[in-house]
């Protein structure tokens, strides 16, 4: 039984100099057999396992992670949370996540530092203005909050912004429920809560192949031996194509590097998330005080978790143009992750040509925000053997039927 985190446990542990904190999750040896194996110990995989155990009554579950949990894209994103997508299907899944975000810290008994500080999309061209207008009205129809702001209102929110520059600020759209959450805490919170329900989190365990019998998956081969399973869920983001190839099919996905960086910590100055999709400049401030800046993805496919300096230069150029105040900020760290991008920039939550093998991937450049919702509907899909109604439109079949959910064309850029 896990000790509950509270003000009292904090005080109690302070008295023992914080030497007696319970381990947050076990490191068990893999069992021979599981009801469900989740491949990939990122946020989405951990959330899936948690909801399988919590809501679906399936506790004989293992998460297989090739390195350490939350070490991939979960720990590499810019922590942005929002749900103001254009299409009904996207609105449904991202707003489902938003509902879960709102009390996730209480649900997990772990402070995920969800901070709905407001998320502002800036429009720098007529096209941008038309895009936010269309999307904002679509949001209203879906019951998602969206406020249109004029340049004066934006200046009030961000007093240091340069409205009249190379990228003139013509307007903006604000989702007040949007904001940020602490990415590592999301992984750790789900891991701890899933572990408490009996889920085995097995790190340093790389899957090297699938055991498939009569067209159905019956287990996996790993760097730590064979493990059999009744059902397998693959949640491996940038590496989903590699896993699909092991299972004998292809995905409509290509993997690209996506970079981000943080500055030295400074006093609070940016109290919302400001995004300029048109010029690929995304900025917010972490609770530690670092400016968190996201770039656009590189244009070539790669698995290297590094990207080009030209991409960083372009992003920083746009940041400095819009926010000249930051021109002398020092960047502390810069890194890349591998994002799994579909042609319509919408995810894939789907059954596959192999029975009992499910894939949850293709979240591309914006998967963090969906973590709770994605895990929740994917867990129910695996448990029931049929895709959850919110997940169903994201089937891999859409690339053959033509039923694309084209957020890419809607936003005209990565999001």
Partner 1 sequence: MFIIECPWCGKRDQSEFSTHGEAHIARPEDPSVLSDEQWGDVLFFRHNPKGQHYERWNHAHGCRRWFNVSRNTASSEIYASYKPGEARPGAGKS
67 neighbors 263 (Cβ within 8 angstroms): no
Q: Which stretch binds partner 1 (CB under 8 A): 73-81, 87-95, 122-130, 308-316?
A: 308-316
401 binds partner 1 (CB under 8 A): yes
184 binds partner 1 (CB under 8 A): no
Residue 327 tokens, joined: 């021109």
Q: Exactly one of 309, 333, 384, 409 binds partner 1 (CB under 8 A); which one?
A: 309
Q: Exactly one of 10, 216, 242, 332 binds partner 1 (CB under 8 A); which one?
A: 242
CA distance 179 to 162: 22
Q: Residue 114 or residue 363: which is nearer to partner 1 going by CB? A: 363
Q: Residue 67 or residue 384: which is nearer to partner 1 going by CB? A: 67
Binding residue count for partner 1, defined by CB under 8 A: 25
Residue 324 tokens, joined: 């000249």
Whole-number minimum distance, CB 254 to partner 1, in Å? 5
209 binds partner 1 (CB under 8 A): no
Q: Exactly one of 115, 296, 302, 371 binds partner 1 (CB under 8 A); which one?
A: 302
Q: Exactly one of 245, 264, 271, 386 binds partner 1 (CB under 8 A); which one?
A: 245
Which residues have a Cβ under 8 Å from the Cβ of 161 and sit 6 or more positions away?
154, 155, 169, 274, 322, 323
Residue 220 tokens, joined: 């996996």
299 binds partner 1 (CB under 8 A): yes
208 binds partner 1 (CB under 8 A): no
CA triplet 380, 82, 320: central angle to 5 degrees?
Answer: 145
Contacts to partner 1 from residues 44-103, by CB under 8 A: none
CA distance 169 to 178: 20
Q: Residue 177 or residue 239: which is nearer to partner 1 going by CB? A: 239
Whole-number minimum distance, CB 340 to partner 1, in Å? 8
374 binds partner 1 (CB under 8 A): no
19 binds partner 1 (CB under 8 A): no
What's the alpha-carbon Rg for the chain, to the nearest Å?
21
Nearest-10 Cα torsion for 215, 217, 218, 224: 140
Whole-number minimum distance, CB 241 to partner 1, in Å? 4
304 binds partner 1 (CB under 8 A): yes
Strands 290-297 and 253-265: antiparallel
- Name the nearest CA neighbour of 32 among 57, 52, 66, 62: 62
Q: Exactly one of 100, 149, 193, 253 binds partner 1 (CB under 8 A); which one?
A: 253
Q: Residue 204 or residue 301: which is nearer to partner 1 going by CB? A: 301
Which residues have a Cβ under 8 Å from the Cβ of 321 and sit 6 or more positions away?
162, 165, 166, 167
CA distance 397 to 351: 9
- Name the nearest CA neighbour of 275 among 345, 179, 362: 179
Task: Please measure the distance between the N-terminal and C-terminal CA atoms of the chain and give it in whole angstroms.
Answer: 41
Whole-number minimum distance, CB 209 to partner 1, in Å? 15
Q: Exactly one of 250, 327, 389, 409 binds partner 1 (CB under 8 A); which one?
A: 250
251 binds partner 1 (CB under 8 A): yes
409 binds partner 1 (CB under 8 A): no
Q: Residue 23 or residue 304: which is nearer to partner 1 going by CB? A: 304
261 binds partner 1 (CB under 8 A): no
* Buried/exposed 300-336: b ≥16 CB within 10 Å, e otherwise: eebeebebbeebbebbbebbbbbbeebeebeeeebeb
C-alpha distances in Å from residue 210, one per residue of 33, 220, 351, 373: 14, 4, 16, 27
Q: Residue 107 or residue 406: which is nearer to partner 1 going by CB? A: 406
Contacts to partner 1 from residues 121-140, by CB under 8 A: none
96 neighbors 377 (Cβ within 8 angstroms): yes
317 binds partner 1 (CB under 8 A): no
- Binding residues for partner 1, rule: CB under 8 A, are 239, 241-242, 245, 250-255, 299-304, 307-310, 343, 399-402
């Amino acid at each position: 039984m896990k000790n509950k985190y509270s003000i009292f446990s904090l005080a109690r542990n302070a008295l023992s100099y914080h030497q007696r904190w319970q381990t947050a999750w076990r490191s068990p040896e893999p069992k021979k057999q599981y009801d469900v194996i989740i491949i990939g110990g990122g946020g989405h995989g951990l959330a899936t396992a948690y909801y399988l155990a919590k809501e679906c009554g399936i506790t004989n579950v293992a998460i297989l992670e090739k390195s350490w949990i939350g070490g991939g894209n979960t720990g590499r994103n810019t922590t942005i949370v929002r749900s103001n997508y254009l299409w009904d299907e996207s609105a449904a899944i991202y707003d489902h996540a938003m509902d879960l975000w709102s009390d996730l810290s209480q649900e997990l008994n772990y402070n995920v530092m969800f901070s709905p500080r407001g998320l502002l999309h800036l429009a720098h061209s007529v096209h941008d203005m038309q895009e936010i207008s269309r999307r904002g009205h679509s949001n209203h129809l879906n019951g998602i909050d969206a406020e249109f702001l004029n340049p004066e209102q934006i200046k009030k929110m961000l007093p240091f912004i340069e409205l009249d520059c190379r990228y003139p600020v013509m307007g903006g759209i604000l989702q007040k429920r949007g904001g940020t959450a602490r990415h590592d805490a999301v992984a750790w919170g789900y891991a701890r809560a899933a572990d408490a329900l009996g889920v085995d989190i097995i790190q340093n365990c790389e899957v090297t192949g699938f055991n498939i019998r009569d067209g159905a998956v019956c287990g996996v081969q790993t760097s730590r031996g064979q493990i059999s399973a009744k059902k397998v869920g693959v949640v491996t983001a940038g590496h989903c194509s590699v896993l699909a190839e092991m299972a004998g099919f292809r995905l409509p996905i290509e993997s690209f590097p996506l970079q981000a960086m943080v500055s030295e910590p400074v006093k609070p100055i940016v109290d919302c998330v400001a995004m300029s999709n048109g010029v690929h400049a995304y900025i917010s401030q972490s609770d530690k005080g670092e400016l968190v800046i996201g770039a656009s993805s590189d244009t070539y496919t790669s698995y290297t978790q590094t990207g080009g300096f030209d991409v960083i230069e372009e992003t920083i150029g746009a940041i400095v143009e819009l926010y000249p105040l930051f021109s002398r900020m020092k960047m502390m760290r810069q890194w890349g992750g591998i994002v799994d991008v579909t042609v319509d920039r919408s995810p894939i939550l789907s059954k596959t040509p192999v029975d009992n093998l499910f894939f949850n991937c293709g979240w591309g450049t914006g998967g963090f925000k969906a973590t709770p919702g994605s895990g929740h509907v994917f867990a129910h899909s695996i448990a029931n053997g049929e895709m959850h109604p919110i997940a169903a439109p994201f089937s891999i079949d859409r690339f053959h039927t033509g039923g694309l959910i084209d957020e890419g064309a809607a936003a005209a850029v990565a999001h």
